[in-house]
Amino acid sequence: MNDKSRPAYRSQLFIPLVLFFCFLLVFTFGSDFLAREAIDFSGYTWKLKHHVHSPVGPGPNYWSSSGRSVRIDESGNLHLRIIENRGRWYSSEVQLNQGLGYGTYEFMVYLPNRPLNKNVVLGLFNYLSDRKEFDIEITKWGEDSPTNVQFVVQPSVKDKNIKRFPLNPTEGTKKILSYTWTRNELIFRCENCKDESCSEKVLLEKWKYRGESMPRGDLKTHINLWLLDGKPPTDGREVEVTIENFTFSPLGKENSE
């Protein structure tokens, strides 16, 4: 082989070597370590949370943005999962790129047929800071209790900033969870879909909040599925929740000023 042919020969070797090392990296650490930045869901772009080397809040937890943890199916539904990889558990979260402001935020949620494990938290919320936040959370907070849903305006320790109630998931039933946010009021709702298309709904719970903790500012919408104190599900099973749709309906100017 003469000197002139050596650079071409080396370049032919370079690409296979790079592919081999990429394969070795995935095989060694798993796809849960391959971060993705964003996905499109219900007409919006959502940032993905990825923090796999050290736990962060809430929880704290490890967070994965891999396709195994967060995906959009062929029908456009968002799937969030809590997964286990090599003895470590990973939660998942998506966040809107921009704040949408005052209006009605509605989430069509398909819960597992069985109640969520008592260590699992599903959060639907708007957030700017720990004191400028309001949430719908489905969780038992580690307790063996039928009460598993809460509407809350942070800080939750303040009197009258929280309402808790029981919700029993049934097979084939979707829930509509929503909040309407105005300058002076928050109205939370939990509704049951009477059919698969959710053309008819039954109101299960409603709560109005007009307290001193009313948040203002550029709060962004989040959806997350995580573990209380980072503890694994008590049954050792991975968890999946499907969000079939998200809609936002802005308020008229007279209601937002």
Cis peptide preceding 16, ω within 30 of 0: no
Q: How many CA atoms lie within 13 A of 22 on its CB side?
A: 7
Q: What pLDDT digit, counting tens, does each position of 247-257 carry?
A: 999 987 555 55
Those residues of the chain that have pLDDT short of 70 are: 1-33, 170-172, 253-257
3-state secondary structure of 85: strand
The CATH label, of 3.30.870.10, 2.10.50.10, 2.60.120.200, 2.30.30.30, for the domain at 35-256 is: 2.60.120.200
Residue 184 CA to residue 212 CA, distance in Å, equals: 9
Residues facing residue 124 across a β-bridge: 136, 223
The pTM (predicted TM-score) of the whole model is 0.86
Domain ranges of the chain: 1-33, 35-256
The phi-psi region of residue 97 (left if phi > 0; otherwise alpha if psi is between -120 and 50; otherwise beta) is: alpha
Confidence (pLDDT) at 177: 98
End-to-end alpha-carbon separation of the chain, Å?
A: 78
> How crowded is residue 180: how many other Cβ atoms within 10 Å of its Cβ?
18
Confidence (pLDDT) at 40: 97
3-state secondary structure of 193: strand
Residue 91 CA to residue 60 CA, distance in Å, equals: 10
